[in-house]
Structure 1
């Protein structure tokens, strides 16, 4: 994009919203994780639009090494049972016992938002695309997904947690042993304003070589 050129972007769910490059960059920088999420959640049409954006992530050899599962309504309770089973299995391995409070908290984890979009890998053997590239592509897809949901007026928080890749949770989502659950994208609406981000200092993390 040329500097300060006016472009058409969809940033609020409305078509043909003209913004400058600087406005677009500042909008991306305003992204924040919001944990207090309520209804309404995105419609299926809005989810499909966000997934289409996720699928534009850099993808060497076009392997599409990611999958998306949308959990809403009563399915959140079934996910809660899977997380609880994973926690119980893990406690058994560690020789410990879960308290009733921890059991209830674990079961309730998926109820913190009206919708959860789970992103998993779908690794494929390819001599030119190592596993780490495919994993990074999945992470890039998550970021695109989050920004596309933000553009449609929704708040999100990217969660994983210690139970995400336990066997019981992988089995629930039909994820292969060698694949990963890389994100639970909790999605919904928030009554809170996006908190302002402190100024971003890139100096310590960046160098230019000529």
Structure 2
């Protein structure tokens, strides 16, 4: 097995990340790798927002407000524990990268294909950070496409936030993955 395949197989989502985080050069390497994902007609139907420091604090406030708005809309009330969890969610990592669609109109590239491109972009981003020694987790959540969240990241109503990629460091040793029986998912047609 080569090193690249070993890294793919070893990559795991880690929920709580700490410093150090990628420096500017490491971040740019990962972002460049992300943009090499398959992209029919090179439409680049994605946008990134990188948050660190005080931006994470502001994001926590926006998450709280979005959660309160959604609860109110549903006729529910968020208790103090839920409010604290929302405001602290961005503090689970020193860097968060928001990845959203930026659909382009093209007669040969439907939106679903552009959405798949963004999924591949995120996977490349995860693997690029892993190859540099960082850990990640790809999160969404039930608030990720609430109007207030989308507005915070300048994502219009026709586009989607596809993920919040949390990036940092962890000394947690994850157990090995159970082997997947490919016979349950693969059909060979000769």
Give the alignment's TM-score, normalised by structure 1.
0.88
Q: Displacement, 1:207?
A: 1.1
| Long gaps (5+) in structure 1 | 1-20
Per the alignment, in what secondary structure is the counterpart of residue 165 of structure 1? coil
Contact 2:67 2:143 in 1 (8 A): yes
Q: Displacement, 1:194?
A: 3.5
Residue by residue over 1:50-98, the C-alpha shift from the partner in whole angstroms, topping out at 9 and shown as x without a partner, is 0000000000110000111111101101001111111111011111111
Distance in 1 (CA, whole Å) between partners of 2:94 and 2:3 is: 30
Q: Which residue of 2 aligns with 1:96?
A: 76
Equivalences for residues 11-26 of structure 1 within 5 A = 22-26=2-6
Q: Which residue of 2 aligns with 1:6?
A: none
Is 1:76 matched with 2:56? yes
Per the alignment, in what secondary structure is the counterpart of residue 119 of structure 1? strand
Contact 1:32 1:195 in 2 (8 A): no
- Which structure has the larger Rg? 1
Per the alignment, in what secondary structure is the counterpart of residue 187 of structure 1? strand
The range that moved more, 171-180 or 28-37, is 28-37
User: Cα RMSD (Å) of the superposition?
Assistant: 1.1
Q: Which residue of 2 aligns with 1:45?
A: 25
Contact 2:7 2:130 in 1 (8 A): no
Per the alignment, in what secondary structure is the counterpart of residue 82 of structure 2? helix
Q: 1:173 aligns with which of 153, 164, 168?
A: 153
Q: Which residue of 1 aligns with 2:116?
A: 136
Distance in 2 (CA, whole Å) between partners of 1:63 and 1:33 is: 29
| Long gaps (5+) in structure 2 | none
Distance in 1 (CA, whole Å) between partners of 2:173 and 2:51 is: 25
Equivalences for residues 186-197 of structure 1 within 5 A = 186-197=166-177
Distance in 2 (CA, whole Å) between partners of 1:174 and 1:78 is: 15
Q: Which residue of 1 aligns with 2:143?
A: 163
Distance in 1 (CA, whole Å) between partners of 2:110 and 2:54 is: 38
